[in-house]
Amino acid sequence: MRVLIIEDESRLAMNIAQVLKESANFAVDVCTEGVDGLHLAKTNPYDLIILDLTLPGMDGLDILGKLRSAGKTAAVLILTARDTSSDIITGFDTGGDDYLTKPFDMGELVARCKALVRRAYGQTHPKVKVGKLTIDTVARRVKFNNSEVRLTAMEYRTLEYLAMRAGQIVSKTDLLEHLYDFNWERFSNVMEVYISALRRKLDPDRKYDLIETVRGQGYLLKEN
């Protein structure tokens, strides 16, 4: 899953980014300025945006309002020092999905981020089940046919995204845009490599044909 942090305190932003990468296996982009943050949020398919309200160049509420007016539906967690009831109400009324005030507990932030991403894909339970496949999004553990499967970080990230969209054809472009930040090295066959590894690890005998390649369209994680 891909996250954008718009936060003018660069050290805080980088700390949050590091924790989200390590604890949630998210791809994370960071912006410390309001106008640039709005541009990134409008032009990239983020699953979650963590938004400060007091930003240079443009207020966070203005960014949020413009995103919602433009039809952008990414979940937005407002992270700010503005802590009055009226501030919180305004944040939700402008289109925010969650509101967390500074100072905050980093563990709570990560838990809120995971929950927002799950709900964005219609998943309310931290364990995502697709047929014989179970993904524990908290522990980042995978079981298939009751056997635990060990995956690399990118293999897990790929499978989790496919599971969130189980039963839908997911294009290669969609996968790349949601699983990588701006710093990834662009190899043309990177998704094929991860899909191949997932097939080999989940179902080495190919009894279930869990991940189907739909020629010219993308990949389909079957629900049954």
pLDDT at 187 over 90: no
Per-residue pLDDT reduced to its tens digit, 132-158: 899 999 889 999 988 999 999 999 999
Are domains 2-120 and 127-221 of this chain identical in fold? no
Q: Is the peptide bond before 45 cis (omega within 30 degrees of 0)?
A: no
- Per DSSP, helices labelled H in the chain are 10-24, 34-43, 60-69, 85-94, 106-120, 153-164, 172-179, 190-202
Q: Which long-range contacts (CB under 8 A, 24 or more apart) does 177-183 make?
A: 177/2, 177/44, 177/45, 178/1, 178/2, 178/27, 178/45, 178/47, 179/1, 179/2, 179/27, 179/154, 180/2, 180/27, 181/2, 181/27, 181/28, 181/29, 182/29
- Coil/strand/helix, residue 174: helix
Mean pLDDT (the chain, rounded):
92
Reference 196, options 176, 210, 217; nearest CA is 210
pLDDT at 179 over 90: no
pLDDT of residue 186: 56
224 pLDDT tier (thresholds 50, 70, 90): low
Reference 167, options 214, 204, 207; nearest CA is 214
We find that the CATH architecture of domain 127-221 is Orthogonal Bundle (1.10)
Tokens representing 174 are: 């969609």
What secondary structure letter does DSSP report for 79? E
Angle at the Cα of 8 from the Cα atoms of 2 and 114, rounded to 5 degrees? 30
Is residue 38 classed exposed, middle or buried when 0-12, 13-18 and 19+ CB atoms within 10 A define those classes?
Answer: buried
Domain boundaries, the chain: 2-120, 127-221
Tokens representing 4 are: 């954008």
203 pLDDT tier (thresholds 50, 70, 90): confident
Tokens representing 204 are: 């080495």
CATH of 2-120, one of 3.40.50.1820, 3.40.630.10, 3.40.50.2300, 3.30.470.10: 3.40.50.2300
